[in-house]
Amino acid sequence: MKQRPSFLLAITPIVSMLLLLGIGYGVFHMEAEPLLIIAAIIAALVGLKVGVKWEEMQQGIVETTAKALPAILILITVGILIGTWMISGTIPVMIYYGMKLINPDFLVVTAFAVTAVVSVFTGTSWGSAGTMGVAIMGIALVQGVSLPMTAGAVVAGSYFGDKLSPLSDTTNLAPAAAGSNLYEHIKHMLYTTIPAALVGIIIYLFAGSGAADASAGADEKLAMMTETLNALYDWNILLILPVIIVLAGSIMKFPTIPVMLASVITAIIIGVTMQGVTLESAFVASVSGFDVTMMGGASSLSSISEDVSGLLNRGGMESMMGTTLIAFCAFSFAGILSKTGSLEVVLEKVNEVAKSTGSLVLSTVLSCLTMAITTGSSYLSILVPGELFQKVYQERGLHAKNLSRTLEDSGTVVVPIVPWSLAGVYMSTTLGVPVIEYLPWAVMCYVGFIFAILFGFTGFSIEKITPSTQQTAENQEQPQYKA
């Protein structure tokens, strides 16, 4: 018979996972997959202890994985997108003109600004990082700007837009979980998001200034790479067409994967008709990844430097398989844990110690962080704490938008700085920088919840429920809350 786990038993798999990944992955740089499997075994032992059958645990794994399948499909499609955008010259043209137009001293802050704007309009952090982010990383590599710093700015900018865009799934999910209104939620997030973004921008301006390689060889390297790109590609305005398709499809709220595939087909057509690439090479690039030797212009070069190859050789479905494997291992742990009842016990314990508004916000933040670290899912980091704390906020006379804001501050934007999360592995794979290295520079991803805690204890921007706001909430139509 299934029993409710004690608090000590409930935290055992969570603490075990944190120790395994913190020491094994973080300190000794061991592979994350076996560490996650060991954590899943510990969670399963706890499940057996409280009477959970293996069939139930297996069902938990299936359910958790099923929820993540749409994200995994997008992940694989992004791999195809990057490979074919290299074939067409879409990413190289952005790198080429970016090298000429962007001052290296302002590249890091530009990385944040560009990805933020794109993700606000599209509502997708992954799309922003996988397209504009990849191009910016290429520019950083050529100009000698710190790659971890640039990657951190790309991640922060991508999630700035994802957090504030009404087109984003998490931006719709948070008010739905908390019981607030979408546009009230977005407006209320500005109190924490704008200060967090400004802190990041100031750091990027100071740290990014002088971050480029100023050696004499740097100019020669830049000249050599621009000459090589000129020889490999035929530049024209149509190379931007695949980008326009993705942006337009996102703004018009078309399904993500069909839009990406339309962009892929367009990129292949451009590569074959304008860049001298064979159709077979285009298919290989979409599966195994792009290689500069596929380009028709490569035959005119006596040799291609490792710098150019390292810059362009990427993409393909196979490049995302490692990310998918880590995701499945993480979902095994999360799925088993969900069936043991451990998370509910831990979150309820956290809720018990919250007496003041400040401690309640702090408890919400800690709950979201716990969910983000243990499950690696932005959705669960929003939904579970949202369900747990919604009535508590109401009972204490706090407007639901306080809760929905905190869910995003400590759930949505934290997940990409968790190394074993799907978002973290995606960003590190796509940008070519380990999460641990870009984490310090993804400033907005961790400063936002610091402001949330500060405002909770000071009362700044914390809105109480009044008779008028209560009546407004009751009169609002439910469909606008749904994701």
* pLDDT tens digits along 346-371: 777 766 777 788 999 998 998 889 87
Nearest to 264 by CA among 72, 86, 70: 86
Average pLDDT for residues 246-262, to the nearest whole number? 84
> Is 416 in contact with 427 (CB distance < 8 Å)?
yes
Residue 180's pLDDT is 83
* Residue 479 pLDDT class (50, 70, 90 cuts): very low
Structure token pair of residue 326: 């880590």
Longest pairwise C-alpha distance within the chain: 77
- Angle at the Cα of 250 from the Cα atoms of 186 and 161, rounded to 5 degrees: 35
pLDDT confidence of residue 468: 56
153 or 103: which carries more pLDDT confidence?
153
DSSP string, 29-77: ---HHHHHHHHHHHHHHHHHHTT--HHHHHHHHHHHHHHHHHHHHHHHH
Mean pLDDT confidence for 422-442: 92
For position 174, what pLDDT does the model report? 84
Could you give the percent of the chain with pLDDT greater than 70?
91
Distance CA 345, CA 294 (A): 56
The residue-averaged pLDDT of 75-90 equals 89
Question: Which of left, alpha, beta for 123 (phi over 0: left; psi -120 to 50: alpha)?
Answer: left
- pLDDT at residue 251, rounded to an integer: 74
The pLDDT-based confidence of 478 (bands split at 50, 70, 90) is: very low
pLDDT value for 482: 32
Region of 296 on the Ramachandran plot (φ > 0 left; ψ -120 to 50 alpha; else beta):
alpha
Is residue 219 scored above 70 in pLDDT?
Answer: no
- Whether this model's pTM surpasses 0.85: no
Model confidence pLDDT, tens digit, residues 357-416: 899 999 899 888 987 887 777 877 887 677 668 878 888 889 999 999 999 999 889 999
pLDDT digit string, tens, across residues 262-307: 999 999 999 999 999 999 999 999 999 999 999 987 777 767 777 7
How many helices and strands (H and E) does the chain possess? 24, 0
Q: By mean pLDDT, which of 114-123, 219-228, 337-346, 472-481 is the weakest?
A: 472-481
Of 175, 206, 254, 196, the residue nearest 481 (C-alpha):
175
Q: How far apart are CA 220 and CA 233, in angstroms?
A: 20
